[in-house]
Homo-oligomer: A and B are copies of this chain.
Amino acid sequence: MRALVITLAFSALFLVPLLGGPLKPEWIELSYPFNSETIYWPTGVSFEHTKTMQGFTDDGYYYSAYDIRASEHGGTHLDAPNHFAEGKWTADQIPLDRLIGPAIKIDISSKTAQNPDAQLMQSDLEAWEKKHGQIPDDIILLVFTNWGRHWPDKKKYLGTDTDDIDQLHFPGIHSNASSWLVQHRNIKLVGIDTASVDYGQSKMFESHRIFYKENIPGLENVANMAQLPAKGFTVYAAPMYISEGSGGPCRVFALLDCA
């Protein structure tokens, strides 16, 4: 019966091109480009793009090439669980099916509008569930603080443009929300539109440790989240495939269901 339904469904989808051209997916870009404005953690090496050649060679053809250098954790990037949890997955160990799949968005932008230290709380998750139903299993959970409106203004986005980490102010995920999620729900990946899963004033990085201990990786500095609905979309997170990486640059994009 299941096979029959699948066959009918795919057959119907394949009819669509005959009826007016193929469905053209509209991908939503959720990454920031890497350049001299890309925001890194105050203690990290920023992105360097070094030209090795640009112009016409002696043989008469055009050629351009560059080298790159950066810390793993800047711009739109992956935190592998190993970043804060000994023995858990490094970047290359995360199965692709934990990085791709149905996703939801929890919007706490009304709380962050007046308070850069606002955090996602358990009560915000409960409020989302009251409206949209229980958070599904194997879901990618994105937290929308609307902090992307400050990108790439480092002072506004991080709270400081100095190296003084005590001055960091931006929203994050409170440990009562991360604890509740790992105990009562089954998410496979968490993302946020700020520089860190934990808020700027965190000293002990509780939510990093709570998620990563359970092999739930993180996405930070996710872009353009305003374009996403509360549910009904698929996220594709494609990190640089670094052996023993604690994370790395990550291309992230999404597709709305039934688009």
Chain A residues with CB under 8 Å of chain B are 1-2, 5-6, 8-10, 12-13, 15-16, 19-20, 23-27, 29, 31-35, 44-45, 49, 52, 59, 61-73, 76, 82-86, 92, 96-97, 100, 203-205, 209, 236, 238-249, 251, 253, 257-258
Of B19, B69, B82, which is within 8 A of A5 by CB?
B19
Contacting pair B67 A45 (CB below 8 A): yes
Chain B hits for A20, CB < 8 A: 2
Q: Which one of A27, A84, A240 has the greatest number of beta carbons of chain B within 10 Å? A: A240
Q: Which residues of B contact A8 (CB under 8 A)?
A: 12
B241, A32: Cβ atoms under 8 Å? yes
Q: Are A85 and B62 in contact (CB under 8 A)?
A: yes
Q: Which residue of B lies closest to A54 (CB)?
A: B246
A186 to chain B, nearest CB (A): 13
User: A67-B72, A243-B49 given as contacts; is B35 within 8 A of A62 (CB)?
Assistant: no
Residue numbers in B under 8 Å from A31 (CB-CB): 241
Taking A76-B241, A249-B240 as contacts, is the C-beta distance between A65 and B49 under 8 angstroms? no
CB distance from A134 to the nearest CB of B (A): 14
Q: Is the CB of B16 within 8 A of A9?
A: yes
Q: Could you tell me the dominant secondary structure of chain A's interface residues?
A: mixed
* Known A-B contacts A9-B16, A76-B241, A249-B249; A82 and B68 likewise in contact (beta carbons under 8 Å): no
Q: What are 6 A-B pairs with beta-carbon distances under 8 A?
A: A34-B241, A34-B245, A35-B242, A45-B67, A238-B251, A240-B240
Query: Which listed residue (B2, B25, B61) contacts A97, Cβ 8 A?
Result: B25
- Bound-complex Cα distance A82 to B96 (A): 30
- Asked whether B67 lies within 8 Å of A244 as measured between CB atoms, the reply is no
Interchain nearest-CB distance for A13 vs B (Å): 4
Evaluate contact between A2 and B27: CB separation under 8 angstroms: no
* Residue of B whose beta carbon sits closest to that of A253: B96
Contacting residues, chain B, for A6 (C-beta < 8 A):
12-13, 16, 23, 258
* In the complex with contacts A6-B23, A33-B241, A242-B33, A71-B62 CB distance below 8 A: no
